[in-house]
Amino acid sequence: MLRPATVAGIGELLWDIFPHHQQLGGAPANFAWHCWQLGAEAYPVSCVGTDSLGRRARSRLAEMGVDDRYVFTTDVLPTGSVEVSLSAAGKPSYEIKADVAWDQLPLADELKTLARRLDAICFGSLAQRSVPTRETIRAVLREMPADALKVFDVNLRQSFHSRALIEESLELASVLKLSDEELPVLAAHFALPGAEAAQLVSLRERFDLRLVVYTRGAEGSRLVGADGTSDFPGLGGLAVDSVGAGDSFTAAICMGILRGGSLERVNRFANEVAAYVCSQRGATPVLPAHLLKSQLLPSPPKR
């Protein structure tokens, strides 16, 4: 792919409310930011309110250089927010507010137009908790080119998921990303046989996936494709704040695949990106030059 890839993260856009600060979060913005840094034409697709948090969200996206043309506005519901607490090891836990703006993502004509030119999209289970947003996400997926990457980042949160929702999402996806905490849930849902490695292969084959991406935190990750497997042991290091690290990992995987990288190369690169994000405060740090200049990636587009 010689031109910049066009990618989107669709779903929840919200404010992470920490004990002493607030930061813009949600997978669509985090994913889009990191894909843009890594050379894509990237967009978050979500909805915010007309309240102060909604105005601040747009202001923050502008500061980041992220294009918000597909972030819609509602005057009926407030902008989403999440109460975040961190363990001593920097691992987050969440209390996610319900009945918020991203629960009402509209299927606008311009969103259908975007879908038809996307090279990749990332979507999860959380944003599908409401019928309107779930229907919009699935309509966008169906409008996309047949060979586009459709990355389902399971991202299980609280009680906002079910076996049916996960199965329906997997049937629409071409890439699955899940963690070592999420695999046992899927193994139970789908009666996956064997240990970890066999379960990942079973998922890939059962849902005819191009790739399964399995993360193990500091212990690295495993990529399972049709033609092989890559197992990376991780890079170690102390995590300052792991919020958003998974989104940066997904972005790096997505961009690496679009650039035609090998599983081994893409796996290592994604671990390097996520490890750096873990070493910084916040989900959207500026990546260092040695990562941005990776031969796996093009130069970022100018805006």
**C-alpha Rg value of the chain to the nearest Å:** 18
Instruction: Decide if pLDDT at 91 tops 90.
Output: no
Claim: this prediction has a pTM higher than 0.75: yes
Q: In the prediction, which pLDDT does 244 show? A: 75
Give the strands of the sheet with 14-17, arranged side by side. 22-25, 14-17, 80-86, 92-96
Q: At 237, is the pLDDT very low, low, confident or very high (cuts 50, 70, 90)?
A: low
In terms of average pLDDT, the best of 60-69, 107-116, 152-161, 294-303 is 107-116
Q: How many CB atoms lie within 10 A of CB 83?
A: 13
For range 173-184, the mean pLDDT? 96
Distance CA 55, CA 73 (A): 10
Instruction: Decide if pLDDT at 302 tops 70.
Output: no
Identify each DSSP E strand in the chain by its residue range. 6-10, 14-17, 22-25, 41-49, 71-74, 80-86, 92-96, 120-124, 149-153, 175-179, 211-215, 221-225, 228-232
Q: How far is CA 15 from CA 86, 189, 254, in A?
A: 15, 31, 24
Q: In the prediction, which pLDDT does 86 show? A: 74
Domain topology for 6-286: UDP-N-acetylmuramoyl-L-alanine:D-glutamate ligase (3.40.1190)
Q: In the prediction, which pLDDT does 303 show? A: 44
The first and second tokens of residue 172, run together, are: 């629409």
For range 260-274, the mean pLDDT? 94
Q: In the prediction, which pLDDT does 165 show? A: 95
Q: Tell me 229's DSSP state.
A: E
Q: In the prediction, which pLDDT does 295 show? A: 58
The first and second tokens of residue 115, run together, are: 């879908």
Give the end-to-end CA distance of the chain in Å, rounded to a whole number: 20
Q: How many CB atoms lie within 10 A of CB 205?
A: 12
Read off the pLDDT of residues 282-297 as tens digits, 9 standing for 90 and up. Answer: 778 889 988 887 756 5
